[in-house]
Amino acid sequence: MIEYLLLAPVLTGILCFFTKTRKQVEVVSVTGSIVTLLLGMALVVDVYRHDIIVTWQNALFADAFSAFIVLIVSIVGFVASLYSTGYMGHEFEHNIIDMKRLKMYYVLFHSFMFTMLLVGVTNNLGLWIAIEMTTLVSALLMILYSRKSSVEAAWKYMIICTVGITFALFGTILTYYASVKILGETGEALNWTSLLAVADQFDPTIMKLAFIFILIGYGTKAGLAPMHTWLPDAHSEAPTPVSALLSGVLLNCAMYGIIRFYTIATKSFGTEFGSNLLIVFGLLSIGIAVPFILLQEDYKRLLAYSSVEHMGIVALGIGFGGVFGIFGAILHMFNHAMTKSFMFFGAGNVLLKHETKEIDKVSGVVKSMPVTGTMLIIGGLAITGSPPFSIFISEFTILAAGFSQGHIVASVLFLLFIIMIFAGFFYHISRMTFGTPAAGVKSGDVSRWMLGAMAILIVFVIVFGVYIPPFFNEMIMKVVNVVR
């Protein structure tokens, strides 16, 4: 099962390489992502029934948490491939990229999908390898346009994340050292399934050290402050569908690494040390996003800083702990993935039409593009956590967990920060959406592919705000049980 899931994007990538025309490459890409989505769903159902699946001599595995990540990757990947058809097609029609680049884009897109799925299903601390691979592939996606700014962003991204991930490797080595003492020198000594059973016997000092390195390392990749400096550049300079994948999915993959280690580490040294670290980093990330969101001039960077904020919220939720805190954090990962990709798609529509990323130069989107404009307003409300949208539910759960676990100061700060972010963010969105469009901007919406992709996502944004389906609720509860 897992093998097929991994095989699907690889095959799609290879097939894309051998296509000749735009039509062919688009058909292959969309079909491939549908297959990936279906296989992902099948894996989720399988895990739902059997709890844990292990294959390939224990190298690959899936439990509820892996399945959850696979679900996010395959849903956002699917809609991003729909959106790509419209977006990259538009770039192709306007001769911004040629056929060779277009083909390259799809090959890399599906390789990127593969590496992200691999992060979810690796039964090994060698998760590190998969996360480093995501950096390598996505850096190539960023330099698809040879603009000065994209090259600069790609270089910063590559260097900062590689250094970060090197720290994570050191943390991994330390963990292996701790586990070898108990399990002996086998390949098994790095597997989640065997680590979890004996984690309480690990040396707490070493595990503390390891956790700090892991948190800094994967935290760099997850965009936690103060290691987030590459994120706004990379996420704003990448092609829009890739921005959505980077913000919505890749950050979650890195967060997944942190949470996995957190689960093992807390078994060894108790919850207090780890959760305090997560709360500090979480609050710092939310706090640092505030001024940058308030004074932002570029709407793609605005969304990128909002990703820093939301990853901070996830870290905070895990840090608060308890069933509610973790439930909120996991739910928030899902909600943020859907809402943020939705927003990036909206921003992409605006970018195609108005051809500028500056907030000041965009106005009257509701008039020039009625559908996109309306969606941007909904998305803007949703991403800042206003009811009745999905993010409100998860943020509220985390806040409630904070108060009930006695982290009063942290919770009050959290509340203050998100209120300020709400004001700043929505001010920018309303400046863009209302008013009259600049002269020379033709009215009329973008292609149906792009609006269709957004329509799929808006279902999650709205429905999960008022009603969480029982099976989904149960699935998240299973993840919570894995994490605790």
Partner 1 sequence: MSELVFGSKMMQLLIALILVSTFMILGSTRLYSCVRAFGIQSFLLAGVAGIVAYSTGKSDIYIVAILTLVIKAAVIPYIFIYIIREIKVKREIALYVNISPSLIIGGVLVVISYYLVRSINIRTELSSFALSASISLVSIGLFIMISRKKAIMQMLGILLMENGLFLGAISLTYGMPLLVELGIFFDVLIGVLIMGILIFRINRTFESIDTDMLKTLIG
Q: By CB under 8 A, name the binding residues for partner 1.
A: 59, 124-126, 128-129, 132-133, 136, 139-140, 143, 146-149, 151-156, 158-159, 162-163, 166, 169-170, 172-174, 176-177, 180, 185-187, 189-190, 205-206, 209, 232-233, 237, 292, 295-297, 301
Q: Which CB sits closer to partner 1, 95 or 146?
A: 146
Say if CB 219 and CB 133 are below 8 A apart.
no
Q: Which CB sits closer to partner 1, 117 or 338?
A: 117
Using a 10 angstrom Cβ sphere, with 0-12 exposed, 13-18 middle and 19 or more buried, the burial of residue 102 is: buried
Q: At what angle do helices 299-320 and 322-354 cross, to 10 degrees?
A: 170
Say if CB 253 and CB 129 are below 8 A apart.
no
Q: Which CB sits closer to partner 1, 164 or 274?
A: 164
CB of 188 to partner 1, least distance (A): 8
CB of 294 to partner 1, least distance (A): 12
* Paired strand residues for 374: none
Q: Which CB sits closer to partner 1, 191 or 372?
A: 191
Query: Got the DSSP string for 216-280?
Result: HHHHHHHT-TTS-TTHHHHHHHS-HHHHHHIIIIIHHHHHHHHHHHHHHHHHHH-HHHHHHHHHH
CB of 216 to partner 1, least distance (A): 12
Helical (H) or strand (E) element with 61: strand 60-62
CB of 76 to partner 1, least distance (A): 24
Q: Which CB sits closer to partner 1, 128 or 334?
A: 128
**466's tokens:** 């008022």
Distance CA 259, CA 242 (A): 24
The 8 Å CB, 24+ separation contacts for 326-329 are 326/480, 326/483, 326/484, 327/397, 327/476, 327/477, 327/480, 328/394, 328/395, 328/396, 328/397, 328/398, 328/400, 328/401, 329/394, 329/398
CB of 187 to partner 1, least distance (A): 4
Helical (H) or strand (E) element with 417: helix 408-433
User: Strands 53-55 and 60-62: what pairing?
Assistant: antiparallel
**343's tokens:** 């927003």
Q: Which CB sits closer to partner 1, 322 or 424?
A: 424
Residue 434, amino acid: F
Distance CA 479, CA 318 (A): 12
**109's tokens:** 């897109």
Among residues 119, 140, 113, the alpha carbon closest in space to that of 131 is found at 119
CB of 118 to partner 1, least distance (A): 10
Distance CA 425, CA 129 (A): 36
User: Which phi and psi (to 5°) does residue 54 adopt?
Assistant: -130, 130
Q: Which CB sits closer to partner 1, 190 or 457?
A: 190
CB of 310 to partner 1, least distance (A): 20
Say if CB 67 and CB 44 are below 8 A apart.
yes
CB of 215 to partner 1, least distance (A): 17
Q: Which CB sits closer to partner 1, 166 or 405?
A: 166
Distance CA 221, CA 166 (A): 11
CB of 242 to partner 1, least distance (A): 16
Q: Which CB sits closer to partner 1, 174 or 398?
A: 174
Q: Which CB sits closer to partner 1, 170 or 422?
A: 170
CB of 452 to partner 1, least distance (A): 32
